[in-house]
Structure 1
Amino acid sequence: MSDEVVATDASHFESLHRALDIVAREHRYLALLQAPPLEQSVAFYQGLIDGGFPHFVALGDDARVIGWCDVSPVFGQSRAHIGVLGIALLPQARGRGLGARLLQAAIDRAWARGLTRIELSVRADNLQARVLYERFGFAHEGLQRRAVFVEGTYHDAHAMALLR
């Protein structure tokens, strides 16, 4: 079996939670520094799926989650046309084109869901991610100064968005 990108379902939740924890503990790519309790993560994943929002996973040779991409809703009726992108890959899955495949699947589903704007925030020192987002048409909308605080250090982040 080669790497595949599929819509997330309940059979992926435990493996997805494990992958979330691994990436979070890198203290570089996510707002979280460790995964929340499994039950909280499952409620988030199921809520996105039940709401028809994009959630995709990349599965490795052993059918375990090695990456994911989701677009979650934004609070408020006047912002119901907007989704917030989340994406990550396990270290061993990076550089294999999976990020682009996950991103395309999530964008396609977001547009089909009726969203017309996808927002994201990416640390300024995450050049590979910024290049990927730019390749897909995400535009820089501003610099969020001191937006992330990890291990005693502040990091700036770029606000980016893609319009349909």
Structure 2
Amino acid sequence: MSEAPNSDQTRATLRAITEADAEGYRACLDRVAAERRYLAFTAAPPLQEVKFYIKAMLQRGLPFIVAVDGSGLVVGWCNIHVLPQTEHRVGFSHVGTVGMGLDAPHRGKGLGREMLQSVFDTAGRVGIERVELQVYASNESAVKLYRRFGFVTEGIKSRARKIDGQYDDIIMMARLRPPSRG
């Protein structure tokens, strides 16, 4: 498990991700994944995959921000991914999926709330009307945060994950933006 480098404990700032952030974002993703509690994977994907993902998100104008501490270390991220519409996959371009994470020392300080607000502000401008996510039931602080943002539970996958001998339910949540009046 990679430890967060001696992260500057001053308040992290939010900004749009750039392609130059690939290594820092991947390192943060790897640290959160290594905790084996919050993400569906236990290690970050290879750097080339991360670079490709960031580039694709930027090209499509999708919301993707990073939280950066005073020393320039990426300590968190939040994005809303929309699957590309293809000839055989149509009708879902208004649906986005939240991905987010924070290094442990930066949790519980309101940064998650700020990150979500930031990506939601962009989501409406790029036509995202439905935002959905999946969260482990054991991640109670995240569930509370999402509910405060208007997410509602749409379903529960019981005992959907088993890691280190422990089961965890997955809560499927969504938030709808009212349709625009034309």
TM-score, normalised relative to structure 1: 0.95
Q: Which residue of 2 aligns with 1:31?
A: 40
User: Identity of paired residues, percent?
Assistant: 37
In structure 1, C-alpha distance between the alignment counterparts of 2:64 and 2:18, rounded to whole Å: 9
Larger radius of gyration: 2
Per-residue deviation at 1:12? 1.4
Q: How do 1:7-156 residues align onto structure 2 when only pairs under 5 Å count?
A: 7-74=16-83, 76-156=89-169
Deviations 1:38-76 (A, max 9, x none): 111111111111111110000111111100001111363
Name segments (4+ residues, structure 1) moved above 4 Å.
none
Unaligned runs of 5+ in 1: none
Q: Which secondary structure does the structure 1 equivalent of 2:101 belong to?
A: strand
Per-residue deviation at 1:80? 1.1
Deviations 1:78-134 (A, max 9, x none): 111100100100011111111011100111111111010000000011110000001
Name the Cα RMSD after superposition.
1.2
Unaligned runs of 5+ in 2: 1-9, 178-182
Name the structure with the higher helix share: 1
TM-score, normalised relative to structure 2: 0.86
